[in-house]
Amino acid sequence: MISHFFYISLPKIIISNSFFMFKVIACINQKGAIGKNRELLYHIKNDLANFKSMTLNNVVIMGRKTFESLPGGKPLSNRINIILTTDEEYGVEPADNVFITNSIEDTINLCEALFPDKEWFIIGGGDIYKQFMEKGLVNEMRLTVVNDDADGDAFFPEFDEGGWYTYYESLNMRTTDNTSFRFQVLKKK
């Protein structure tokens, strides 16, 4: 039986040889904004439903602030929640589906050791996205792109668009309040 939560401190692996890759899932606008005041910038019903269907029964990896911004500050149900934080004293209410790691290497080791049969999704925040992308660990981005330029205080990292190709892109859709958005899946070249 796995304990309710624990810190992972395993030997370091060579990231560039890691067989497994991570997927990013995010809702961004034209400025790359993803949030404001520790909340999502958008609450689009279709986006939230897609997020749930894609991540259900898989692994979601997030920073401490993203975890604390979840509804009720509780882990997402029916998913393995991994909180990546440099705060080695950080703890949460015990839950069977929550793990805390202190580095990307420890996160990789945990995923490879315990969850090799699941998809691994990076769900935020901006710094966590950036760290995984800069290390070349992301091979797919599933984005909801909102056709809006609202200001935020948390942003999706800039990336070299030449290194990615559009695998899928939906037509523009509209919410009941007339917000225009589209779904996009980018894969690494």
Query: Which tops the pLDDT comparison, 17 or 67?
Result: 67
Per residue in 32-57, pLDDT (tens digit) is: 999 999 999 999 999 999 999 999 99
Tokens of 80: 């393995």
Residue ranges of E strands in 129-179:
138-146, 154-155, 164-169, 173-174
Contact 165, 189 (CB under 8 A): yes
Contact 120, 30 (CB under 8 A): no
- Which domains does the chain possess? 22-188 (3.40.430.10)
Q: Which of 35, 66, 71 is nearest to 156 (CA)?
A: 35
Tokens of 37: 């005041």
**Has residue 8 got a pLDDT over 80?**
no
Per residue in 72-109, pLDDT (tens digit) is: 889 999 999 999 999 999 999 888 999 999 999 999 99
CA 164 to chain centre: 18
Residues constituting the chain: 189
What is the pTM assigned to this prediction? 0.88
Tokens of 138: 């992301």
